[in-house]
Amino acid sequence: MAGHLKRAVAALAFGAALAGFAGMAQAGKTLDTIKQRGQVICGVNTGLAGFGAADSQGNWAGLDVDICRALAAAVLGDANKVRWVPLNTQQRFTALQSGEIDILSRNTTFTLTRDASLGLHQTAITYYDGQGFMVTKKSNIKSAKQLNNSSVCVQAGTTTEKNLNDYFRAQKMKFKPVVFEDFEASKKAFFSGRCQVYTTDASGLASIRNKDAAKPDDYVILPELISKEPLGPVVRRGDDEWFAIVKWTIYALLEAEEYGITQANVEQMKGDPSPAIQRILGSGEDSGKLLGLSKDWAANALKAVGNYGEIFERNVGPKSPLKLPRGANNLWNKGGLMYAPPVR
């Protein structure tokens, strides 16, 4: 009987300790540094319209940019407390590994190799993409299967380069790669006629055609997608607390869209009786304390940038210059792939 009693007491003590631990957020090194610094340092593209680009006044905009703004609002209560670090494909992972940036939010594909060998964590998918091809309209090419023996401009050190080789090998076609280290150089080469084809993610092709072509209507994006390119932010390994903050900020933006919470109605929705909405907006259970954040962390993010649907429409959607369809990036209950774990 004494043995049973001891085990019961031990179990109760362990349960109490576990409950106490579960109610406390463990202070993460990255979060502490950001709070002391008063800024989130965000690695972004050197200039990809719709995802990450600065205007002539140095104001940054894009889907990837808005993710960092949402994080700054969630962590620091101010979406403007971000320092932008433009990075090319060769610089991006080194900058994150070395601690130069807190987060890489730069149209980066999630792959096994990157997840398992670079000392980094892939967080949550913010855009489902796929690699495509762009050609001139006057070439009269209608399909990627007509590209045999073509010259193709591609950027070095990307998944794009590997996918290109894999596709042509699988199709038993030949091509001449025209490889560039620099993104700008690869675009200029294509538009100057040095290669017949340009390849990158389909969203990138739409961005490049809209921004860099003298006459966008003179260029055609072929219908085939030759790869899966799930894009999203990346953080360093070794700080699970920061990893969780990034993931759940993105999930909150998605769940907010699902529940009809918008940038304009955040304060109004705080009075909604739905427990799920109350948890997201901090008017019910305090989910923020589990992340080491204030109870209105998600509400602050939503007031700054809106929900995921608003971010998509503003930057890349049908009414934006890129005119990209929502497609796979629609919510799961509207025929898309965007499905967030519940904020609870």
Six-digit token string for 1: 């009987």
Quote the CA–CA distance of 301 and 68 in Å, as a whole number: 10
Backbone angles phi, psi at 156, to 5 degrees: -70, 155
pLDDT at 340 over 90: yes
- Tens digit of pLDDT for each residue in 85-129? 999 988 999 999 999 999 999 999 999 999 999 999 999 999 999
Rounded to two decimals, the pTM is 0.86
Q: What is the CA radius of gyration of the chain?
A: 23
Higher pLDDT, 11 or 283: 283
> Residue 175 contacts by C-beta under 8 Å, 6 or more apart in sequence?
147, 148, 149, 150, 151, 152, 164, 168, 197
pLDDT value at residue 18? 39
pLDDT interval class at 305 (50, 70, 90): very high
What is the percent of the chain with per-residue pLDDT over 70, rounded to a whole number? 92
Query: Mean pLDDT across the chain, nearest whole number?
Result: 92
Six-digit token string for 185: 């150089």
Given a contact cutoff of 8 angstroms between Cβ atoms, the answer to whether 97 and 120 are in contact is yes
Six-digit token string for 100: 């130069």
Residue 255: helix, strand or coil by DSSP?
Answer: helix
Name the pairing type of β-strands 150-155 and 197-201: parallel
Given a contact cutoff of 8 angstroms between Cβ atoms, the answer to whether 237 and 155 are in contact is no
Q: Which among 45, 40, 160 has a CA at the least distance from the CA of 105?
A: 45
Higher pLDDT, 28 or 257: 257
* CATH 3.40.190.10 correct for 131-227: yes
CATH of 29-128+231-329, one of 3.65.10.10, 3.20.20.140, 3.40.190.10, 3.60.20.10: 3.40.190.10
Residue 65: count other Cβ atoms within 10 Å of its Cβ.
26
Q: Which among 64, 44, 89 has a CA at the least distance from the CA of 231?
A: 64
pLDDT value at residue 135? 98
Quote the CA–CA distance of 342 and 344 in Å, as a whole number: 6
pLDDT interval class at 183 (50, 70, 90): confident
- Tens digit of pLDDT for each residue in 132-156? 999 999 999 999 999 999 999 999 8
Q: Please indicate whether the domains covering 29-128+231-329 and 131-227 agree at the CATH topology level.
A: yes
Parse the chain into domains and list their residue ranges. Answer: 29-128+231-329, 131-227
CA distances from 171 to 59, 164, 196, 204 (A): 43, 11, 18, 24
- Tens digit of pLDDT for each residue in 23-82? 444 557 999 999 999 999 999 999 999 999 999 999 999 999 999 999 999 999 999 999
Given a contact cutoff of 8 angstroms between Cβ atoms, the answer to whether 196 and 152 are in contact is yes
